[in-house]
Amino acid sequence: MVIKAIFPNDELWNKAIDYGKNCSWKAGAFFAKQLEENKFTEWERVFVVVDNDKNIAGYCTFVKNDCIPDVKYTPYISCIFVGEKYRGKRLSEKMILTVIEYAQKMKFNEVYIVSNHINLYEKYGFIKIDEKKDYLNKDEKIYKRIIG
């Protein structure tokens, strides 16, 4: 398994769009739409996990803003998803660590994750710092990890 940043001219870009559209997570459609509209600017990135057969096993993004409006927190590790047949291999953790390494290169001192999961991101060094409503008026937690 390899984790890599992809770009619109990359052969994996369209594969990632299809994967997002067809994955079991309903937020996959949002992920796919972001790629179709190439919503990523400056240092923002899309990361995918690729298996030995060049199939996408999972994805995440590194973005300025996530699903909670009007907050000062940035940047976010967002849209973290691993396909069912690839779970149990610590791929989420590996993606998060890859993004953190990239964030450090970009001179960020902290990263955030929005989630409604409990006791998931804490094991990766994140602490809950806030709770807010997302764009759909759903309660979400904001987690922070200091990296620099």
Q: Report pLDDT digits (tens) over 56-100.
A: 999 999 999 999 998 999 999 999 999 999 999 999 999 999 999
pLDDT at 107: 97
Statement: residue 148 has pLDDT above 90: no
Q: What is the DSSP letter of 74?
A: -
Structure confidence by residue, pLDDT tens digits, 6-37: 999 999 999 999 999 999 999 999 999 999 99
Q: Is the pLDDT of residue 39 over 90?
A: no
Q: In what order do the strands lie in the sheet with 76-82?
A: 2-6, 45-50, 56-63, 76-82, 110-115, 139-146, 127-133
Count of beta carbons in the 10 Å neighbourhood of residue 75: 22
Tens-place pLDDT, residues 90-131? 999 999 999 999 999 999 999 999 999 888 999 999 999 999
Distance CA 63, CA 61 (A): 6
pLDDT at site 35: 97
Residue identified by tokens 């779970």 is 87
State pTM to two decimals. 0.95
CA gap 128, 114 in Å, rounded = 9
**Confidence grade of residue 134 (pLDDT, cut at 50, 70, 90):** very high
What pLDDT is stored for residue 118 in this prediction? 87
Q: Is 103 exposed, middle or buried (0-12, 13-18, 19+ CB in 10 A)?
A: buried
Write down the pLDDT at residue 88.
95
Write down all domains in the chain, each with its CATH number in brackets: 2-146 (3.40.630.30)
